[in-house]
Amino acid sequence: MGLDMYMTGSKFIGGHWQRDKPIRKEDDHPINSIEVSLGYWRKHRRLHGFIVNTFADGVDDCRKIELSTDALRQIAKALRDDDLPETEGFFFGNEKIDKEEKEQSEEYANQMEEAIKWLEAGKKNPFERSVYYEASW
Protein backbone atom coordinates (compact mmCIF):
# COMPACT_ATOMS: atom_id res chain seq x y z
CA MET A 1 0.00 0.00 0.00
CA GLY A 2 1.04 3.54 -0.43
CA LEU A 3 0.22 6.89 -1.90
CA ASP A 4 -0.43 6.59 -5.65
CA MET A 5 -0.85 9.91 -7.44
CA TYR A 6 -2.34 10.46 -10.89
CA MET A 7 -2.68 13.41 -13.24
CA THR A 8 -5.34 12.73 -15.84
CA GLY A 9 -6.52 14.70 -18.83
CA SER A 10 -10.16 14.48 -19.83
CA LYS A 11 -11.11 15.41 -23.39
CA PHE A 12 -14.76 15.91 -24.32
CA ILE A 13 -15.37 14.53 -27.82
CA GLY A 14 -19.11 14.99 -28.22
CA GLY A 15 -20.44 11.47 -28.20
CA HIS A 16 -23.95 10.95 -29.46
CA TRP A 17 -24.57 14.37 -31.03
CA GLN A 18 -21.69 14.49 -33.51
CA ARG A 19 -23.30 15.12 -36.89
CA ASP A 20 -20.28 15.49 -39.14
CA LYS A 21 -18.21 12.62 -37.72
CA PRO A 22 -18.80 8.92 -37.20
CA ILE A 23 -19.89 8.23 -33.64
CA ARG A 24 -17.20 6.56 -31.54
CA LYS A 25 -18.57 3.75 -29.42
CA GLU A 26 -17.43 1.44 -26.66
CA ASP A 27 -19.53 -1.58 -25.69
CA ASP A 28 -22.15 -0.31 -28.16
CA HIS A 29 -22.51 3.04 -26.32
CA PRO A 30 -21.43 6.49 -27.56
CA ILE A 31 -18.20 7.82 -26.09
CA ASN A 32 -18.62 11.36 -24.72
CA SER A 33 -15.08 11.80 -23.47
CA ILE A 34 -11.72 10.11 -23.26
CA GLU A 35 -9.08 10.21 -20.55
CA VAL A 36 -5.34 10.36 -21.04
CA SER A 37 -2.61 9.76 -18.49
CA LEU A 38 -0.50 12.89 -18.01
CA GLY A 39 1.49 11.90 -14.93
CA TYR A 40 1.96 9.33 -12.21
CA TRP A 41 3.93 9.57 -8.97
CA ARG A 42 4.30 7.29 -6.00
CA LYS A 43 4.59 8.43 -2.38
CA HIS A 44 5.54 12.05 -3.12
CA ARG A 45 3.88 13.25 0.07
CA ARG A 46 5.08 16.84 -0.16
CA LEU A 47 3.73 17.25 -3.72
CA HIS A 48 0.45 15.69 -2.59
CA GLY A 49 0.26 18.06 0.38
CA PHE A 50 0.94 21.08 -1.83
CA ILE A 51 -1.82 20.17 -4.29
CA VAL A 52 -4.38 19.35 -1.59
CA ASN A 53 -3.63 22.44 0.53
CA THR A 54 -3.44 24.86 -2.40
CA PHE A 55 -6.20 23.61 -4.71
CA ALA A 56 -8.61 21.61 -2.50
CA ASP A 57 -8.78 23.81 0.62
CA GLY A 58 -6.82 21.19 2.58
CA VAL A 59 -9.53 18.54 2.14
CA ASP A 60 -7.73 15.25 1.51
CA ASP A 61 -10.46 12.79 0.55
CA CYS A 62 -9.08 11.17 -2.63
CA ARG A 63 -11.44 13.15 -4.85
CA LYS A 64 -10.47 14.57 -8.23
CA ILE A 65 -8.95 18.04 -8.02
CA GLU A 66 -9.18 20.09 -11.19
CA LEU A 67 -5.96 21.88 -12.14
CA SER A 68 -5.96 24.94 -14.41
CA THR A 69 -2.97 26.09 -16.43
CA ASP A 70 -2.19 28.60 -13.66
CA ALA A 71 -2.34 25.82 -11.05
CA LEU A 72 -0.02 23.62 -13.13
CA ARG A 73 2.45 26.53 -13.46
CA GLN A 74 2.31 27.08 -9.70
CA ILE A 75 3.01 23.38 -9.05
CA ALA A 76 5.94 23.34 -11.51
CA LYS A 77 7.44 26.41 -9.79
CA ALA A 78 7.01 24.88 -6.32
CA LEU A 79 8.75 21.70 -7.51
CA ARG A 80 11.67 23.62 -9.01
CA ASP A 81 12.00 25.92 -5.99
CA ASP A 82 11.67 23.01 -3.52
CA ASP A 83 8.82 24.95 -1.95
CA LEU A 84 6.61 22.02 -0.95
CA PRO A 85 5.19 21.68 2.58
CA GLU A 86 5.99 18.90 5.02
CA THR A 87 3.07 16.45 4.76
CA GLU A 88 2.38 13.53 7.08
CA GLY A 89 0.32 10.43 6.43
CA PHE A 90 0.47 6.73 7.23
CA PHE A 91 0.87 5.52 3.63
CA PHE A 92 2.67 8.62 2.34
CA GLY A 93 6.30 7.54 2.37
CA ASN A 94 9.25 8.83 4.36
CA GLU A 95 12.30 11.10 4.23
CA LYS A 96 14.29 8.64 2.09
CA ILE A 97 11.54 8.71 -0.52
CA ASP A 98 11.40 12.54 -0.21
CA LYS A 99 15.09 12.67 -1.18
CA GLU A 100 14.50 10.48 -4.23
CA GLU A 101 11.48 12.56 -5.27
CA LYS A 102 13.41 15.80 -4.85
CA GLU A 103 16.00 14.50 -7.30
CA GLN A 104 13.20 14.03 -9.84
CA SER A 105 11.59 17.44 -9.30
CA GLU A 106 12.67 18.79 -12.69
CA GLU A 107 11.13 15.78 -14.45
CA TYR A 108 7.87 16.28 -12.53
CA ALA A 109 7.86 20.02 -13.28
CA ASN A 110 8.30 19.14 -16.96
CA GLN A 111 5.26 16.86 -16.72
CA MET A 112 3.25 19.83 -15.43
CA GLU A 113 4.38 21.87 -18.42
CA GLU A 114 3.42 19.05 -20.81
CA ALA A 115 -0.04 19.03 -19.18
CA ILE A 116 -0.26 22.79 -19.82
CA LYS A 117 0.55 22.22 -23.49
CA TRP A 118 -2.09 19.50 -23.68
CA LEU A 119 -4.69 21.81 -22.09
CA GLU A 120 -3.79 24.71 -24.36
CA ALA A 121 -4.10 22.53 -27.47
CA GLY A 122 -7.85 22.54 -26.81
CA LYS A 123 -8.26 26.30 -26.38
CA LYS A 124 -10.68 26.60 -29.32
CA ASN A 125 -13.32 25.16 -26.96
CA PRO A 126 -12.57 25.88 -23.28
CA PHE A 127 -14.89 23.05 -22.19
CA GLU A 128 -13.12 20.47 -24.32
CA ARG A 129 -10.23 19.62 -21.99
CA SER A 130 -9.63 19.41 -18.25
CA VAL A 131 -6.77 18.20 -16.09
CA TYR A 132 -7.31 16.49 -12.75
CA TYR A 133 -5.12 15.29 -9.90
CA GLU A 134 -6.29 12.33 -7.87
CA ALA A 135 -4.60 10.30 -5.14
CA SER A 136 -5.28 6.84 -3.82
CA TRP A 137 -3.93 4.91 -0.85
Segment 72-100, tens digit of pLDDT: 999 999 999 989 888 766 556 566 656 66
How many DSSP H helices and E strands does the chain contain? 4, 6
Q: The whole model's pTM is what?
A: 0.84
Rounded CA separation 9/2 (Å): 23
Backbone angles phi, psi at 9, to 5 degrees: -105, 135
Residue 54 has pLDDT above 60, yes or no: yes
